[in-house]
Structure 1
Amino acid sequence: MHARSMVALTILAGLALLASSSLYVVKETQTGIRLQFGKIVETDIGAGLHMKIPVYNTVRLFDTRVQTLDTRPSRYLTGDRKGVIVDSFVKWRIVDVTRFYQATSGDQQVAASLIAPRVDQALRNEFGRRSLQEIVSEQRDELMAGPMVTLNRALAEEMGIAVIDMRVKRIELPTEVTASVYERMRSERQREAREYRAQGQEEGERIRARADRAREVLLAEAQRDSEIMRGEGDAIATRTYAAAFGQDPEFFSFLRSTQAYQAAFNSPDDLIVVSPRSEFFRFLDNSSGRQ
């Protein structure tokens, strides 16, 4: 009985080993190929449970999800012969498993080593066509559109992969040219500042000149108007005095004499030497003013 149990267990173990080596599972994120002594006999095996002949068949599974390749920063020359350091990455996935296996033997490290030079070449060609000003000012999506199309076409034919996205993470100037570029930018900003100051001073001079001219015009007009008004006032006063003098000449002679006396003897120390019979004192001797 013990011997029968051992035989049964051995048979069960053999069957389990045969089943494990004959059955395989492909996940939803995978695709597979079946090989017969190294030759592809079935490709694009979908998700699920599948069978194979042990030893006779070999199955290789591949991840069909999007993969990311971070390339090393590289130095490129722009169209105007300026050096820039570019750091980029590429997102790709397998679309033709047969071509991918034939190109890389299913090794993703080999795939990365084949993709990286292609990325470098596509970026080098694109940056070589554009000036530094265009590279800095244009949108990154527009900058990478051309290289992405070129790279996708080449890799699809050679390796059976599709480029999903291609981006530049950063663009930097080499250390040896950074100082000169900054100095050139500083000089350009200073030149613009001088131009703005000169324009401001010129405009300020024009404004001050207009203000001074307006001031002189206002003063001249005010002086003219005041002289006119003063002349008119003097004319009115003269006419008034003349009319008043004409009504009573003796009274106004007396009034002028009293004003002269007040002005002559304004202080106790005032002294005047004149003949008592002088015309000046005629109203002191006689209130009527007669000699």
Structure 2
Amino acid sequence: MRGPIALAVLVILVALGLNSVFVVDEREKALVLRFGEVQQVKTEPGLGFKIPVVDTVVKYDDRILSLTTQPLEVTPEDDRRLVVDAFARWRIVDVVKFREAVGAGGEQIAKNRIDGILNNAIREVLGSVPSTAVLSDDRTPLMNRIRDLARREASSLGVDVIDVRLTRTDLPEQNLAATYGRMRAEREREAADERARGAEAAQRVRATADRTAVEVTSQAKKEAEIVRGEADAQANKIYADAYGKDPEFFAFNRALQFYAQSMKTQTSSLVTQPDSLYFDYERFLRSIGEKPGAGVANAAGQ
């Protein structure tokens, strides 16, 4: 009987020995629980020991975990509803606090809690900005704000929210047509404003150009009148000098100018008295035409 008893005792001792040892790899963290109370925290990889039967070992993933939210409708500051999808990267940093927060539910309960925290953070952040900011290409500041807010809320679970990304921000199908119409109306209004400002600027340019043209024309006319007056004065001086030297030749020259002006066209008509001075030189010029030699001689004598 001693042999079988010793063998049974040995088997029991081996089983108890094996049951008192557990292994934690580099991807895990472990808690040793005794009647639900934490007795030991094992965060480093290697062998751990516990009391057989009395103690239990609970292991948690030490890697960065992902969480994808369900499509969520949010209302930005301008009351345009948007459908938003997001995903988060999170990690367990305090296994004791994590155990106290989620109990025996483990990571699944934690995901549900983090999902609610993330949805609340998305609604709070996106509800404080216009939809144009949410729909823009650069949403990094918004995502950082959501991450920071979710991180503060999730710290009570013993987890760290490492990153949050918005994967989709679209308009609901039933709102697309109305939203596009409003966007088109806004763009048309902006275009009308731009055209009005352009027309105003063009009007200012035209007014400035017209004023400049009037000023330049007025200055040119002024200078022309001055030059013309100086020329007339000089011409009158020449005429006066010529008149002083030979009054008869001066009168004859003025008569020739008068004839040239009065006979410019074929239909010129002149009404005057028969004894007018006009006919004195006219008869003289006619005599030049009838007797060229005599007329020239008479002109030279006069």
The TM-score normalised by the length of structure 1 is 0.69
Deviations 1:206-225 (A, max 9, x none): 32233223223322332333
Counting only pairs closer than 5 Å after superposition, residues 222-261 of structure 1 correspond to structure 2 as: 222-249=220-247
More moved, 59-68 vs 144-153: 144-153
Gaps of 5+ in 1: 1-9, 263-273
Alignment pair present for 1:114 and 2:113: yes
Deviations 1:242-286 (A, max 9, x none): 323432456667888999999xxxxxxxxxxx99xx444388268
Question: Would you say the 8 A contact 1:122–1:151 is kept in 2?
Answer: no
2:115 is paired with a residue whose SS is helix
Within the candidate set 39, 42, 45, 1:45 is matched to: 42
Counterpart CA distance in 1 for 2:85 and 2:103 is: 25
Shift of 1:174: 1.6
1:82 is paired with a residue whose SS is coil
Alignment pair present for 1:183 and 2:193: no
Counting only pairs closer than 5 Å after superposition, residues 1-291 of structure 1 correspond to structure 2 as: 20-36=18-34, 39-40=36-37, 42-47=39-44, 48-78=46-76, 80-101=78-99, 103-105=102-104, 107-128=106-127, 132=131, 139-141=141-143, 143-144=145-146, 147-148=149-150, 151-153=153-155, 156=156, 159-249=157-247, 278-280=283-285, 281=287, 284=294, 287-288=297-298
State the identity as a percent: 35
Alpha-carbon spacing, 1:233–1:161, altered in 2? closer, same or farther (3 Å): closer
Alpha-carbon spacing, 1:233–1:131, altered in 2? closer, same or farther (3 Å): closer
Question: Would you say the 8 A contact 2:29–2:61 is kept in 1?
Answer: yes
Deviations 1:116-145 (A, max 9, x none): 233323433454555546756883156426
Counterpart CA distance in 2 for 1:250 and 1:41 is: 143
Count how many residue pairs are aligned between Structure 1 and Structure 2. 266
Question: Would you say the 8 A contact 2:67–2:87 is kept in 1?
Answer: yes
CA RMSD of aligned residues (A): 4.3
Gaps of 5+ in 2: 1-7, 261-278
Shift of 1:44: 0.9
Q: Tell me which residue corresponds to 2:3.
A: none
Deviations 1:147-173 (A, max 9, x none): 3255225xx2xx443434444344322
